[in-house]
Amino acid sequence: MTQLERTFDYEATLAACARGERPALQSLYQQEAARLLGVLLRLVREPALAEDLLHDAFLRIWTGASSFDPARGSARGWVYSVARHLALNHLRNRHREIQGAGVEELLGVEEAGVALGEGIDVTLHAARIHLCLDQLPPARRACIVHAYVDGFSHAEIAHKLGAPLGTVKAWVKRSLAALRECMG
Amino acid sequence: MNDGPDNDAQDELDALAAEYVLGTLAAGLRTEVEHRLPHDAALREAVDAWEERLQPLTELTSPHAPSAALWPRIEHSVDELHTRPASVPSTPWWDWLGLWRGLAAAGLAATLVLGTLLLGRDAPAPSYLVVLVAPQDKSPGWVIQASDQQTIQLIPLGVAEVPEDKALQFWTKGADWQGPVSLGLVKPGQTLKVPLDRLPPLESDQLFELTLEGRSGSPTGKPTGPIQFIGRAVKVI
How many domains are contained in chain B?
Answer: 2
Per-residue burial over A100-137, b = 16 or more CB atoms within 10 Å of its CB, e = otherwise: eeebeebeeeeeeebebeeebeeeeeebebbebbeebe
Tell whether the model's pLDDT for residue A17 goes beyond 80: yes
pLDDT digits (tens, 9 = 90+) for B100-126: 555 555 665 655 565 555 554 544 455
Q: Do B70 and A129 touch (CB under 8 A)?
A: no
Task: Enumerate the residues of chain B whose CB falls inside 8 A of the CB of residue A81.
Answer: 21, 51, 55
Mean pLDDT of A112-133: 52
Is B79 among the domain residues? no
Q: What is the mean pLDDT of chain A?
A: 83
* Cβ–Cβ under 8 Å, residues A124 and B59: yes
pLDDT the model gives residue B38? 87
Is B208 among the domain residues? yes
Asked if residue B116 and residue B54 are part of one domain, the reply reads no
Mean pLDDT of A94-120: 41
pLDDT the model gives residue A98? 44
Q: Which of A19, A30, A51, A98 is the best mutation test for B, with the most CBs of B within 10 A? A: A51
Is B22 among the domain residues? yes
Q: Do B219 and A63 touch (CB under 8 A)?
A: yes
Asked if residue B46 and residue B114 are part of one domain, the reply reads no
pLDDT digits (tens, 9 = 90+) for B133-191: 887 777 778 888 776 667 788 888 877 778 888 889 998 888 777 778 888 888 888 88
* Cβ–Cβ under 8 Å, residues A87 and A40: yes
**Burial class (CB within 10 angstroms; exposed 0-12, middle 13-18, buried 19+) of A84:** buried
Task: Enumerate the residues of chain A whose CB falls inside 8 A of the CB of residue B162.
Answer: none
Task: Enumerate the residues of chain B whose CB falls inside 8 A of the CB of residue A71.
Answer: none
Task: Enumerate the residues of chain B whose CB falls inside 8 A of the CB of residue A154.
Answer: 24
> B168 or A126: whose pLDDT is higher?
B168
Helix, strand, or coil here: B168?
A: strand
Which domain range does residue B36 map to? Answer: 5-60
Which residue ranges form the domains of chain A, and what is each CATH number?
1-102 (1.10.1740.10), 113-184 (1.10.10.10)
* Cβ–Cβ under 8 Å, residues A73 and B51: yes
Asked if residue B145 and residue B49 are part of one domain, the reply reads no
Contacts of B201 by beta carbon, 8 Å cutoff, 6+ apart: B149
Is B15 among the domain residues? yes
Task: Enumerate the residues of chain A whose CB falls inside 8 A of the CB of residue B59.
Answer: 121, 124, 127
> A146 or B199: whose pLDDT is higher?
A146
Asked if residue B115 and residue B40 are part of one domain, the reply reads no
Lowest mean pLDDT among A70-74, A156-160, A163-167: A70-74
Q: Do A63 and B44 touch (CB under 8 A)?
A: no
Task: Kindly indicate the confidence band of residue B89, based on its pLDDT and cuts at 50, 70 and 90.
Answer: very low
Lowest mean pLDDT among A63-77, A116-130, B109-123: A116-130
Task: Kindly indicate the confidence band of residue A47, based on its pLDDT and cuts at 50, 70 and 90.
Answer: very high
Asked if residue B95 and residue B46 are part of one domain, the reply reads no
Q: Do B187 and A59 touch (CB under 8 A)?
A: no
Asked if residue B102 and residue B41 are part of one domain, the reply reads no
| Residue B162 C-alpha, separation from nearest chain A C-alpha, in angstroms | 13
Q: How far apart are CA A154 and CA B29, in angstroms?
A: 14
Asked if residue B51 and residue B98 are part of one domain, the reply reads no
The CATH number for B126's domain is 2.60.40
Q: Cβ of A142 under 8 Å from any chain B Cβ?
A: no
Q: Cβ of A160 under 8 Å from any chain B Cβ?
A: no
Asked if residue B112 and residue B46 are part of one domain, the reply reads no
Q: What is the mean pLDDT of chain B?
A: 79
Q: Do B19 and A42 touch (CB under 8 A)?
A: no
Asked if residue B112 and residue B54 are part of one domain, the reply reads no
Asked if residue B201 and residue B144 are part of one domain, the reply reads yes
Is B49 among the domain residues? yes
Asked if residue B222 and residue B146 are part of one domain, the reply reads yes
pLDDT the model gives residue A114? 37
Task: Kindly indicate the confidence band of residue B132, based on its pLDDT and cuts at 50, 70 and 90.
Answer: confident
* Cβ–Cβ under 8 Å, residues B171 and B221: no
Task: Enumerate the residues of chain A whose CB falls inside 8 A of the CB of residue B168.
Answer: none
Cα B229 to Cα A116, B121, B210, distances in angstroms: 48, 28, 5
Helices (H), A74-153: 75-97, 103-106, 128-134, 138-148
Q: Do B66 and A33 touch (CB under 8 A)?
A: yes
Lowest mean pLDDT among A172-181, B44-53, B79-88: B79-88
What does the DSSP assignment read for B131-147?
Answer: EEE-TTT--EEEEEEES
Q: Which residues pair with B131 in a beta bridge?
A: B143
pLDDT the model gives residue A153? 95
pLDDT the model gives residue B88? 41
Is B173 among the domain residues? yes
**Burial class (CB within 10 angstroms; exposed 0-12, middle 13-18, buried 19+) of B33:** buried
Q: How many alpha carbons lie under 13 Å from residue A168 in its C-beta half-sphere?
A: 22
Is B78 among the domain residues? no
Asked if residue B143 and residue B32 are part of one domain, the reply reads no
Tally Cβ neighbours within 10 Å of residue A85.
21
> B186 or A104: whose pLDDT is higher?
B186
Q: What share of chain B is helix, strand, coil (3-state, %, to 5)?
A: 40, 25, 40
Is B178 among the domain residues? yes
Of B44, B55, B220, the CB nearest to A77: B55
Q: Do A38 and B62 touch (CB under 8 A)?
A: yes
pLDDT the model gives residue A117? 38
Q: What share of chain A is helix, strand, coil (3-state, %, to 5)?
A: 75, 0, 25
Tell whether the model's pLDDT for residue A115 goes beyond 80: no
Tell whether the model's pLDDT for residue B81 goes beyond 90: no
pLDDT the model gives residue A58? 97
